[in-house]
């Protein structure tokens, strides 16, 4: 009995293969772009069981479109062996398709996984990577699957990637410097694999693993740790053919070759004075001045414990500064705003004023930081207060009148670097060091 081309006994048309649908009356189906319904497995689910079996027999669709037909047929009473008899698809392959479908479905529903990268899993030789990816926790599956796509991993490489996640989690305390992303997990696994390399395998095996780890590493610290392994092995093998006791002798020699660079400090290099920094002069608060305490560095390395201020500045131990008992620093943004600071008031530049809180007795030969009460009356009936630098004689006169409060003697004005210019106002550091 003759039948029309492209049909099966019983009157069913042969289901078209993806990308090639046969028009009515045609004996052969020329290539055409896939029709839209092939992207939607629901169309297959609505067909009767005989058509489903023929689709599976002809593999007329992608695996992820055909896989839902297995549970559909099982609900109709077919067993996996029955489906195998009808379609030639073995139970093992049926189970694989079901596994891949579940893993792929989790990626489809995860907004973190780009839709355009799902195409990578369409060929079955790539879809088999989903067998390994299914073991990843849901929060890691999308980024790690994208890593598989970007690097075109096969099944064995994907298994290694999944294993690296387990190793990274189990040895977190050793993973200092390694990140938690896909590439970092792979790099950490390579770092761990190097620890297992036997001496007879040689440096080439170590370099191979390290380069593989660096290929996927995304952090500079990771590459540094991997490079350190190679260097350790190079030192270890530098003694030639010494293989006794698993290389322990070589490692002992390597430890002997390691050196810590030592330096000796000169007295001048330790000659510094820690000074509390109280901020800009115009914002100086009485409480900040009161909190300043005497600091006494001690020991071979002038160790000190900061108290009384949050910011500190380390200055050379000039003789004038060393003589100050309780110094503190304030920043003057423009020395030209100081009214009575002598030559310093004639310039306009930033400077640090070093004030000795312990020296509050005015002397005609020094300058003092003081608060003077102005004749301008405020709304409360008190005079306005002016914080400024005053000459010793003026300070003595104001103190006699009871119109000022001395905060401390101005020990030094530390100017910014002069970039090699000498304007005659500076004093050589050697002179100040006494």
337-375 tens-digit pLDDT = 888 787 788 888 888 999 999 998 888 888 999 988 765
* Domain contains 294: yes
Mean pLDDT within 139-144: 90
Structure tokens, 10: 């019983």
Tally of domains within the chain: 1
- C-alpha separations of 234 from 33, 207, 251, 261, 292 in Å: 58, 10, 10, 21, 55
* Domain contains 426: yes
What is the C-alpha to C-alpha distance for residues 164 and 133, in angstroms, rounded to an integer?
12
With beta carbons less than 8 A apart as the criterion, state whether 410 and 345 touch.
Answer: no
Whole-number average pLDDT of the chain: 78
With beta carbons less than 8 A apart as the criterion, state whether 312 and 275 touch.
Answer: yes
User: Residue 355 CA to chain centroid, in angstroms?
Assistant: 43
Sign of CA dihedral 217, 222, 223, 228: negative
* Domain contains 423: yes
- C-alpha separations of 26 from 14, 22, 153 in Å: 12, 6, 41
Mean pLDDT within 214-237: 84
Q: What does the pLDDT read at residue 382?
A: 52
**Cα–Cα nearest to 229, from 200, 181, 193:** 193
383-414 tens-digit pLDDT = 567 888 988 888 888 888 888 889 999 999 99
Alpha-carbon dihedral of residues 388, 393, 399, 403, nearest 10 degrees?
-50
What is the C-alpha to C-alpha distance for residues 238 and 256, in angstroms, rounded to an integer?
12
What is the C-alpha to C-alpha distance for residues 27 and 2, in angstroms, rounded to an integer?
14
Structure tokens, 262: 């030592």
* Domain contains 368: yes
- Name residue 276's beta-bridge partners: 312
End-to-end CA distance of the chain: 122
* Domain contains 227: no
b/e burial code for range 289-304 (CB count within 10 A of at least 16 → b): beebeebeeeeeebee
Residues 6+ apart with CB under 8 A from 223: 214, 217
* Domain contains 315: yes
**pLDDT band per the 50, 70, 90 thresholds, residue 31:** very low
pTM of the model: 0.48
33-89 tens-digit pLDDT = 333 333 455 677 777 778 888 888 888 888 888 888 888 888 888 888 888 888 888
Full residue range of the structural domain in which residue 359 is found:
268-432
With beta carbons less than 8 A apart as the criterion, state whether 347 and 335 touch.
Answer: yes
Q: What does the pLDDT read at residue 156?
A: 92
With beta carbons less than 8 A apart as the criterion, state whether 363 and 393 touch.
Answer: no
* Domain contains 323: yes
Q: What does the pLDDT read at residue 281?
A: 87
* Domain contains 287: yes
Q: What does the pLDDT read at residue 297?
A: 78
What is the C-alpha to C-alpha distance for residues 308 and 292, in angstroms, rounded to an integer?
5
Q: What does the pLDDT read at residue 409?
A: 93
């Amino acid at each position: 009995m003759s039948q029309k081309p492209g049909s099966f006994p019983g009157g069913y048309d042969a289901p078209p293969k993806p990308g090639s649908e046969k028009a009515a009356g045609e004996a052969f189906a020329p290539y055409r772009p896939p029709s839209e319904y092939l992207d939607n497995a629901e169309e297959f689910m609505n067909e009767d069981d005989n058509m489903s079996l023929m689709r599976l027999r002809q593999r007329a669709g992608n695996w992820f479109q055909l896989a839902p037909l297995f549970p559909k047929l099982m609900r109709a009473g077919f067993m996996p062996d029955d489906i195998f008899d009808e379609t030639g698809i073995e139970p093992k392959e049926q189970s694989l398709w079901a596994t891949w479908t579940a893993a792929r479905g989790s990626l489809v529903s995860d907004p973190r996984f780009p839709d355009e990268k799902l195409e990578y899993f369409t060929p079955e030789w790539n879809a088999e990577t989903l067998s390994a990816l299914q073991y990843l926790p849901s929060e890691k599956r999308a980024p790690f699957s994208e890593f598989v796509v970007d690097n075109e991993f096969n099944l064995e490489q994907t298994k290694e990637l999944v294993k690296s996640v387990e190793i990274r989690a189990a040895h977190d305390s050793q993973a200092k410097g390694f990140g938690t992303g896909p590439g970092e997990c792979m790099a950490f696994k390579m770092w761990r694999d190097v620890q297992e390399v036997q001496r007879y395998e040689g440096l080439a095996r170590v370099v191979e693993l390290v380069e593989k780890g660096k290929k996927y590493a995304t952090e500079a610290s990771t590459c540094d740790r991997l490079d350190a392994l190679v260097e350790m092995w190079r030192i270890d093998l530098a003694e030639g053919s010494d293989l006794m006791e698993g290389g322990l002798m070589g490692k002992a020699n390597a430890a002997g070759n390691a050196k810590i660079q030592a330096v000796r400090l000169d007295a001048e290099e330790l000659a510094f004075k820690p000074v509390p920094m109280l901020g800009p002069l115009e914002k100086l608060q009485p409480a900040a001045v009161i909190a300043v305490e005497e600091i006494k560095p001690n020991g071979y390395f002038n160790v000190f414990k900061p108290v009384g201020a949050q910011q500190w500045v380390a200055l050379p131990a000039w003789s004038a500064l060393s003589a100050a008992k309780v110094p503190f620093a304030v920043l003057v943004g423009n020395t030209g705003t100081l009214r009575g600071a002598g030559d310093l008031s004639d310039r306009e530049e930033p400077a640090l004023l070093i004030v000795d809180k312990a020296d509050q007795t005015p002397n005609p030969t020094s300058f003092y930081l003081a608060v003077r009460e102005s004749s301008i009356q405020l709304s409360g009936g008190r005079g306005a207060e002016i914080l400024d630098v005053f000459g010793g004689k003026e300070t003595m006169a104001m103190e006699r009148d009871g119109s000022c409060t001395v905060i401390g003697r101005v020990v030094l004005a530390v100017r910014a670097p002069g970039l090699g210019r000498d304007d005659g106002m500076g004093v050589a550091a050697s002179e100040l060091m006494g």
